[in-house]
Amino acid sequence: MAKVLPDDPTSRHLVAFVGDGPMGITRWRPATEESGQVAIIEYLGIVENKRRQGYAKRFLRAVVEDIEAMYAQQPTHPQSLIAYVPQYDTFAGVRLFQSLGFQPTPKEEMAYDSSLLRMRIAWMQPLLDYQPRAKD
C-alpha cells in the first residue's frame, strides 16, 4: 500500500530526471516542533532501476540545496533537518541519509504497514560538504 501524505500547501515536491525519464521524487516541508523550526523530508523515492548508482545521493543533495534556497529568503532557518526513512529494503535508505550526516533518533513513527526511522542532522553542519569519518 502506498503512503498517502496529507495535503499541505507548504510542502515542496521535487522530481529528478535522468535523460528523458524520471529518476526520483521527494516531498519536504517546513515544520515547528518542540525543539523549534525544522525541515522535514517526508518522502524520497528512487526508481528501482536507478538505485545503487549514486543518483539518490545526488538527488538528496539537491533536496538539501532546495531547502537551503527556500530558507535563504526567510529571516529564520531550521534548527535541524528531519527525515523519515523506511526501515525495510536492507536499510539502504538509512545508509543514504547517514552518508550526508543524518543520525537515527530514538523516536519511531508507524505509518500503515511500515515502520519509519526518524533521522536528524543539525542545520549548522556543512551539509553538502559532509564526509563520514573513516572507520578505524
Digit-coded pLDDT (tens) for 36-86: 788 988 888 888 888 888 888 899 889 888 888 888 888 888 888 988 888
Residue 136 has pLDDT above 50, yes or no: no
- 136: in domain: no
- Partnered with residue 27 across adjacent β-strands are 13, 43
- 134: in domain: no
Q: Which helix (H) or strand (E) holds 129?
A: none
- 3: in domain: no
- 51: in domain: yes
- 2: in domain: no
- 5: in domain: no
What predicted TM-score, i.e. pTM, was given to this entire model? 0.75
Return the DSSP state at 87: S
What's the mean pLDDT when you consider all of the chain?
Answer: 78
Digit-coded pLDDT (tens) for 75-130: 888 888 988 888 776 578 888 888 888 888 876 555 555 677 778 888 764 455 54
Q: What is the mean pLDDT of residues 9-23?
A: 86
Output phi, psi for 48, to 5 deg: -55, -45
pLDDT band at 6 (very low <50, low <70, confident <90, very high): low
- 135: in domain: no
Q: Which helix (H) or strand (E) holds 25?
A: strand 21-33
- 103: in domain: yes
Residue 67 is part of which domain span?
A: 12-129
CATH number of the domain enclosing 122 = 3.40.630.30
Overall number of domains in the chain? 1
Cell of 14: 521535487
Q: What percent of the chain has pLDDT over 90?
A: 1
